[in-house]
Structure 1
Amino acid sequence: MDEKKRILELRKILEEYSIAYYVYDDPTVPDQEYDRLLDELIHLEQKHPEMYDANSPSQRIIGSVLDGFEKVTHTSLMLSLSDIFNLDEIRAFCSRIEESVTDAEYVVECKYDGLAMSLTYDNGEFIRAVTRGDGTVGEDVSNNIRTIPSIPMHIPTQQHVEVRGEVYMPKQSFEKLNAKQKAAHKKPFANPRNAAAGSIRQLDSRICASRKLDAYWYYFQNAQDFGILTQEEALEKMHELHFRVNPIRKVCKNADEIWAFIQEIGEKRESLPYEIDGMVIKLNSLTDSSRLGTTVKVPRYAIAYKFPAQQVQTRLLDIQLSVGRTGKITPNAVLEPVRVAGTTVQAATLHNEDMILHKDLRIGDIVVIHKAGEIIPEVVRAIPQRRDGTQKPYIFPSTCPVCGSKLVRFEDEAAHYCVNQDCPARVVESMIHFASRDAMDIETLGDKKIEQLHDWGLLNSIEDIYFLKDHREELLNKPHYQAKSVDKLLEQIEASKKQELGVLLFGLGIRQVGKKAAMILANAFGSMDALRQASIDDLIQIKDIGQITAESIVAFFQEEKNIHLIQVLQDQGLCMTQTKKSIQQSRFTNKTCVLTGTLEHYTRNEAKAILVSLGANVSGSVSKKTDYVIYGTAAGSKLTKAQTLGVATMSEDEFLQEVENAQA
């Protein structure tokens, strides 16, 4: 046979074998036969370089090296989903759908812990794979996607096709990869999602090929071009076109059916060969989904249920203390590394001595841990039955672990404090806080740089930040400090002087004064001088400033070191005043409001700022004292609680109208 014809024949045969094996889980030939034919193809392609085809089965293992990834704008936004956590929130989602959709059906599918991806095909051939990116612009990672055997390079249609789904690393691949990392004395990956994302962004596609990734596809972007009317039909059509579609799904008619299926899959979750962190609920009708549309960030026709935190057991190896910017001492659990909710956990905060005593935690205990909100590791309890006599009760130290000063526990507080203002740990943490985004926002002065400059003796207190300009030449002689980066740092430090009083107060790290309290104080007193002269009685007259906070503020301004600090900052030209914003009278004046759900016209912070400008007190939780709950799409338990308590609710459209009325 003509060698060029044989190349085309081999490509077709090998692709059919791959589809049978990876997509339909129905291998039709032994691995040895597949390998023999692939070797033949590679040999013939080497003889005929003019027959090169990026979509050839050989390219899945040969690969190439790129200089970087091209940015690509998506044809339509790749949206994320709002999260819900319980049956009530599922019912609320279904109720909102059913207000405008009769006989609604829902498709419930697995929510993968992977990397969102979009694939494009034309004339039956794979064209491009693009990451989600920011939802508008992603990166072309086609070279790496070609290395995933289950993704077809040719599909049985000449029509344009775009499908979206998730690339993930199977649990088995993850375990093998981390074993290799450890053998090579490299840091293991924290979880399969990070490993998958890191693999897809490898410039050398051979590395990606070695990681053994896989993918599931769940969204047919242009399903309407094929006359498809439902999500279930779209999934079936994608499968027919040789895309790997997960059979774990169900069409449900109501919230109770959805919940029953979610519970069923939740019980099987750990036995699945891939990580899932929830289930996705989608309206089945594509026509109704299109009519409902999307907000700026999320679709109105779909939502993600997140599984409750997974609990696992591990050993408490030690308890170590850290010192914060206010001198607060935080005990931290050192754990035997264990996987929980998709990541490897080896540390967790224990908050204070009372928590350790309440949970009766002992060094060497077997403990139960979970992730609060699937994010923050938390020690739930010890298991006394597993004690063998080697466990030791933890004695909370009486001195600071950094400077050795005697620790203090203030009345009515659970935490211990190092009150030595010269404690090195406090000094560094206070400067990190001062320069942080929520405080003075000196972007180029990050944690590591502050620690480095402190080690060099250039930063020993907050005021030293504003004298770095005097050390420019010294900085230029330090490794990795170039003129451009040094000048940018000094410019940002100079620009921070314009921040108003509220920001500065928060940056100073006064105990009990958070971001909200700092702004309240700045607006109430208008200047640093006025605040410094305020008594405890003056302070407690201000709404939301209590006795303990007032005492802490007064104590702060009586400290000689703090008096000196403020004077130096004033001499260096920092703003010591606050522009008082006039409050418009409105329906919200002196009312307590709660925001919930996703707003289409504002971010949560923008809406909060508007409410504050209209005289409202914005709270994070609903109670009988709440006056209004303002809700957007995917509003969950807060809206449900408001309805139960009889609290007035207000849609985003109603909120917009009230804002317009107030501004008019």
Structure 2
Amino acid sequence: MGQLDLDGNDQEASDLEQARKEAAELNRQLKYHAYRYYALDKPEIDDHEFDLMLQRLIKLEERYPELQMPESYTQRVGGYVSNQFAAVRHAERMYSIDDAMDIDELDAWLAKTDKALGATRDNPVAYTCELKIDGLGVALTYRDGAFVRAATRGDGAVGEDVTLNVQTIHDVPLNLDRAGMEAVAHHGSGETIEVRGECYMPKSSFARLNERRDAEGQSVFANPRNAAAGSLRQKDPKVTAARDLGTFLYAVADPRMVHVSSQHGFLRWLRDCGFVVNPEARLCRTAAEVHDYCAEALAHRSDLDYDIDGVVVKVDSFAQQDALGFTSRAPRWAIAFKFPPEQRETVLREIKVSVGRLGVLTPVAEFDPVFVAGSTIARATLHNMDEVARKNVRVGDTILVHKAGDVIPEVIGPVLSKRPADAVPFEMPSTCPSCGSPVVHELGEVAYRCISIDCPAQTLERLTHWMSRKAMDIDGLGPEILGRMIDAGMVRDCADIYDKVTADGLAALPTGRFYKTASKASHRAGDPKPSGGVYTSTAVPHEVGDPIPLGEKAAAKICEQIERSKAKPLGRVLFAIGIQYVGSSVADLLADAFPSIDALMEASEEELAAVEGVGPRIASNVAEFFTIPENLQVIERLREAGLNLASDAAGEPERPQTLAGLTFVLTGSLSGMTREQAGAALKALGAKVAGSVSKKTSYVIAGEAAGSKLTKAESLGVPVLGREDLERILETGAPPEAR
């Protein structure tokens, strides 16, 4: 649809019907993209493009006031309230802020505001300039100085209750400092105050989070703002706690609640209370000072560890703010000067595929080097095949690139008008680039995976998993030592641990620590090394000398652990091998259902899926795993090394299955035995042992320091048993009455 020329006087500009159609389409687009941004945290366009559409709609409605309807996007505060959390009504409405898309629009607003407030050269209007943090708006409520509730901005009037999640953010004070509370108006019992600000994710945390999700084959976040929003809206507060969120506070629902008269004074009050306030805020008294602040912020945005997309300019005086008031959607006393996006054109030369530590294949764009946001970039991950298709990029394309969060190189998309005629769509390889094994892509998954346990790209992660406590429990072989064993060519797969690792080889392995030597003369050939392997000298500075080997004593202990691991039950071996979706519980179910690994390898997908707790998806992965020749070769080498590849129950008389049909969940510490031992004993009587509590759970056995599983059992009315009850169950084979 063509756009009307709103700045001209041609005949087309007076066409109300065309303006009505364009406004309707803009409203539709804005509402759609706002829903993607606020409700789904999955935007399809960047903020700048959204802002341009909104500005276009505002200009249309200014030219044709009859188009400004109550349901227009210009009349609402951006945001949505999901039904995942309880609704919270804010003490006062949380407004949006109007945008200035360039310096001319900012100057026009400054001049208009100065005029409205009667500013003169001798009596100028003071403005507080603050960085515009690109995060998620939050409102924090305190009663008598104690934190009681947190809510998202939502639609401005009603937000989502995210109290439990916000409590996990370390910089949110749970109790306000006394110095700040003394400045609260009418301070006394029951006093409630609602402060507001932005929840954000640091760029460094964003990079680590996406790197981890990418390696695990999960979808990645588009930018730090979406990562913060997704993290704050988690059902499990532990997930939020692990995401390293931060806050900057800058507003209060009712300024009359605080004995301060200005924005810069209020920021000082927030600091006194214990809140984190952005340190870059500045009081400006002229338009030139505001210009300088905006220019500095734009120039140094890439130096910050948090994402900003502009500068918020506020009239500093609360009295003058009151005099200016609000429009239907925004305060008249504030404006957001929006930064232009920093994008560059370059040519996509190749899409290479890397193999992550978990076998996930990742397409990576390699393009002509280009300078963006303070540094030169020449490659960027495309994450997965779905992203390649969505962005529609092809080798040879001229592409637009930027830095997500001003830190992570990202391909925005192609310039289609410059696409070469011979450019073809990218296809993921059918074999692993690292080892040549077939690549698996399951229906409904975004990730393509190599599932060979012989794949060099996955060696360290697979071996670390093999050594872990719930797997083969080989103490002393952590990631650092394993990494050095791999570098030395000592191991490549789990079978190498048993048929290639020797005590002598381990003893000589460098540990990463070094002898210190003052000089070459300080250690003569044949001299014994001093105790602890450290040479000292007061004459000259220390220099790094020879690497310290692991040593015979440590090597002997590791070899003893390796030998002992051969007797681990089949369930442990199945878990340690690392079949996708086969956790320790599923591995035990498979070991119980099949007498040996040979029987498991011969089982059909249908037989595997028929095992209770397995199902079609896991069955497909297990069956696929045992079709890879490299996997079968490793298993044969494990057999030759003497590992236990038969079920513990194979060949033993079966105990009466008196607990068949009952499901137990174990929680807490059980004196005298581990939960794994207790679970195995219950399974021997026919019981099923689950990892989580549900309505189908028959009994929960709670030891000392039982946690959330006990709480959930009580809420669902599931019978709870103790340690003594467990002993009677194992002795008699019959469950007692629940306590």
Structure with the bigger RCO (C-alpha within 8 Å, sep 6+) is: 1
TM-score scaled by structure 2?
Answer: 0.37
TM-score scaled by structure 1?
Answer: 0.40
Name which one, 1 or 2, has greater alpha-carbon Rg: 2
